[in-house]
Amino acid sequence: MAMTDSRIITYSPAYTLVPTYECFNRCSYCNFRANPGQSPWLTLTEAGERLTQLQPQGICEILILSGEVHPHSPRRQAWFQRIYDLCELALSIGFLPHTNVGPLQFEEMRSLKSVNASMGLMLEEITPQLQQTVHRHAPSKIPQVRLQQLIWAGELQIPFTTGLLLGIGETPVDWWETLDAIAQLHHQYGHIQEVILQPHSPGHQQNWQAPAFDPQQLPQVIAKARQILPADITLQIPPNLILDDQWLLACLAAGARDLGGIGPKDEVNPDYPHPHIQRLQNIVEPAGWHLSPRLPVYPQYNNWLSPRLQQAVLNYQFPIS
């Protein structure tokens, strides 16, 4: 359970595997994508070599994060199979996979449930207005398409992470409506582990000319989100996108309790390196917080996992708030 009065701040020791950067969406703020056909796919051999090297490093979560191959592309099945095989490989080596690869079909989600401790998809914002601006060339960012993923995750009993992207042209009313939509789905299915509040942070690859989200607004958004969302949903913030230590502490005071996956590189925001754990401890612990590693699945969802995944979870001994 998320405990907003706790002094524990969690994070997941994580490493990201990218099956491909190619994506048929063209979000104008994106710093991740490559054009279709211009990004080699990660091979299982290369992935296996990387994962083997990670074994002694205390990593628990393998985030499978991919650009999207069009649902009607003749390569869609091969793309999905590569994602499944990467999850299977990570699980077989002893890691806990967490997949976030854009909207999936119901049967694709059902299949990945068997090899993932949890899954995720950013809802971003449910206002359709962004389809006229930053999402004009991003068909899979249609709000109803992404809301459907959250519904299917609930029906399939998949522990799920979602979130908002702040500062891409939406309004505060859009924030509250998006959070309320998440809250209503969680009331129905009880499957949302975490909600990420991610401030837009300009990078060198994007073509949208807009400033970063004002970090001074973030504690207010967190406090309101904490009022809207059920208490058992944890609020997550990315510490590499909050560059001022005092504002990071203000976010924690407002109700954020998780710092997400911390690894060698933030693939979505490559201009903003993750801080080292020691640095984060030096920020939060003098202020009375305790930084603690966690798994990509929260303990209240363990009984949703297959016996194989439950056994994999038992192999780790991280304390989880």
Could you tell me if residue 289 is inside a domain? Answer: yes
Which domain does 41 fall in, by range? 8-302
Interacting residues of 144 by C-beta distance below 8 A, sequence separation 6+? none
pLDDT tens across 81-100, in order?
A: 999 999 999 999 999 999 99
Residue in the block written with tokens 């304390």: 319
pLDDT on residue 209: 87
pTM of the model as a whole: 0.95
Mean pLDDT of 282-288: 97
Angle, vertex CA 12, rays to CA 10 and CA 15, nearest 5: 160
Q: Is residue 2 over pLDDT 50?
A: no
Domain count, the chain: 1
pLDDT on residue 1: 40
Could you tell me if residue 310 is inside a domain? Answer: no
Could you tell me if residue 316 is inside a domain? Answer: no
Could you tell me if residue 319 is inside a domain? Answer: no
Could you tell me if residue 196 is inside a domain? Answer: yes
Q: What is the percent of the chain with per-residue pLDDT over 90, rounded to a whole number?
A: 90
pLDDT tens across 214-273, in order?
A: 989 999 999 999 999 999 999 999 999 999 999 999 999 999 999 999 999 999 999 999
pLDDT on residue 205: 87
Helix (H, G, I), strand (E, B) or coil at 12: strand
The conformation of residue 167, written as its DSSP 8-state character, comes to S
pLDDT tens across 119-160, in order?
A: 999 999 999 999 999 999 999 999 999 999 999 999 999 999
- Tell me the pLDDT of the chain averaged across its residues: 94
Cα separation, 287 vs 225, whole angstroms: 23
Q: Is residue 3 over pLDDT 90?
A: no
CATH of the domain at 159: 3.20.20.70
Could you tell me if residue 257 is inside a domain? Answer: yes
Give the DSSP H/E element, type plus range, for residue 155.
Answer: helix 143-155
Q: Is residue 320 over pLDDT 60?
A: no
